[in-house]
Amino acid sequence: MKVSVVLCTYSLDRYEEFSEAADSILDQTHDDVELVVVVDGTEEVYDRVLADYGDHEDTVIHCNDRNRGLSHSRNVGAELASGDVVAFLDDDAVAAPDWAEKIVSGYERYDALAVGGKMVPDWLAGEPSYLPAEFYFLIGVTYRGFREDEGYVRNTFSSNLSFRRGPFLELEGFKTHMGKRGENNLQGGETELCVRLEREYGERVLYIPDAEIEHKIYDYRTGRRWLLERAFWQGYSKRRMEEMDSEGTETERAFVGKLFSTFIPDRIAELVREPTAERAGRLVMLLVLTGATGIGYGYALAKSLLE
């Protein structure tokens, strides 16, 4: 089974990280992997990628005519790919050597239509003591409350998500108004796509926790203000997702229920048993981030009522 991995990039400032990501795909233990690089409209980056990777027989390189955003670039990459499976990797992430092998195993054992894996953190500036694992999804890392064993989920993070190429193209890929593009803050493109996958094909994403990708966590992504803004836009995006598909946020509703019934009480009990400043900080941040997410959701709700 051939796996085509779409890797999108756009800035020379991230070229070192991009190279790590690209090399991790070309060094996979699975012997049939294709790297598809889509440069989002930056000629200088395209020229450098072409110089460094253009001679590799398992690499396809394309440059958009202008900046079109991550979702559009991923869709272009899937169209250019030749694999049975098309997978997506961010340019600040690194795949484990056996990642593709684990993904292919999932397709073969389950006859799956989509397979995703686990995102683990690479703390470049150290792990912040105040960030609760329940909100690791803000930094693109598998969080407390996500499924731990192998089995089906609605979706995984888009940087560790793959599809059989045929169904992906039939679904017309990611919605291009969602995902990163300039100041666009509408998140959840992978969620929306996987909801459509289930609706059209009756199948969810197979989660393989052993298929790991490491996500670089830069210092700015652990700042309190950044996390609060990210939480706000998460809440905003989930409400917008509900407007597009009322059944699309069942996973989030279940998580919120677990947050109030289990996670927050657990954090309080932990603090009472052994009070420390670190535990207190995590509890406070858990409550604050929950509130910020709720405010974002409420803002989107009010905005939709006024439109």
Same domain, 58 and 196: yes
* Three-class DSSP category at 88: strand
DSSP 197: H
Q: Per-residue pLDDT for 199 more than 90?
A: yes
CA 254 – CA 265 distance, rounded (Å): 16
Q: Residue 280: how many CB atoms within 10 A of its CB? A: 13
Read off the amino acid at residue 243: E
Residue owning tokens 């593709």: 100
- Strands 33-39, 59-63: pairing is parallel
Domain end among 192, 207, 222: 222
Q: Per-residue pLDDT for 75 more than 90?
A: yes
**Mean per-residue pLDDT for 264-286?**
96
Contacts of 233 by beta carbon, 8 Å cutoff, 6+ apart: 185, 187, 296
* Tokens matching residue 275: 């009070």
Domain end among 202, 222, 242: 222
Contacts of 243 by beta carbon, 8 Å cutoff, 6+ apart: 304
Q: Per-residue pLDDT for 233 more than 70?
A: yes
Same domain, 78 and 18: yes
Read off the amino acid at residue 257: G
Q: What is the DSSP string of 118-134?
A: EEEEEETT---TT--GG
Cβ–Cβ < 8 Å for 102, 25: no
Question: Mean pLDDT, the chain, as a whole number?
Answer: 93
Name the band, by pLDDT with cuts 50, 70 and 90, for residue 247.
low
**Mean per-residue pLDDT for 10-21?**
96
Strand ranges for the chain from DSSP E: 3-9, 33-39, 59-63, 85-89, 93-95, 114-123, 151-153, 161-164, 205-217
* Tokens matching residue 266: 């657990």
Same domain, 35 and 181: yes
Same domain, 216 and 228: no
Domain count along the chain: 2
Same domain, 105 and 11: yes
CA of residue 234 relative to chain centroid, distance: 13
* Three-class DSSP category at 157: coil
Q: Per-residue pLDDT for 99 more than 70?
A: yes
Residue owning tokens 């939709």: 304
Question: Which backbone phi and psi does 52 adopt, to 5 degrees?
Answer: -85, -30
Same domain, 29 and 155: yes
**Mean per-residue pLDDT for 271-295?**
96
Q: Per-residue pLDDT for 144 more than 80?
A: yes
Same domain, 274 and 229: yes
Question: Which backbone phi and psi does 180 adopt, to 5 degrees?
Answer: -70, 125
Same domain, 11 and 54: yes
Same domain, 209 and 229: no
Domain end among 222, 257, 282: 222
Q: The whole model's pTM is what? A: 0.92
Residue 240 confidence (pLDDT): 83
* Three-class DSSP category at 106: helix
Which structural domain, as residue segments, surrounds residue 80? 3-222
Domain of residue 30, CATH code: 3.90.550.10
Read off the amino acid at residue 233: W
Same domain, 54 and 175: yes
Distances (CA, A) of 147 to 21, 33, 110, 245, 246: 26, 28, 18, 23, 22
Cβ–Cβ < 8 Å for 257, 196: no
Same domain, 110 and 64: yes
Same domain, 167 and 305: no
Share of the chain above pLDDT 70, in %: 95
Read off the amino acid at residue 122: D
Cβ–Cβ < 8 Å for 28, 100: yes
Tens-place pLDDT, residues 159-192: 999 999 999 999 999 998 765 555 555 677 899 8
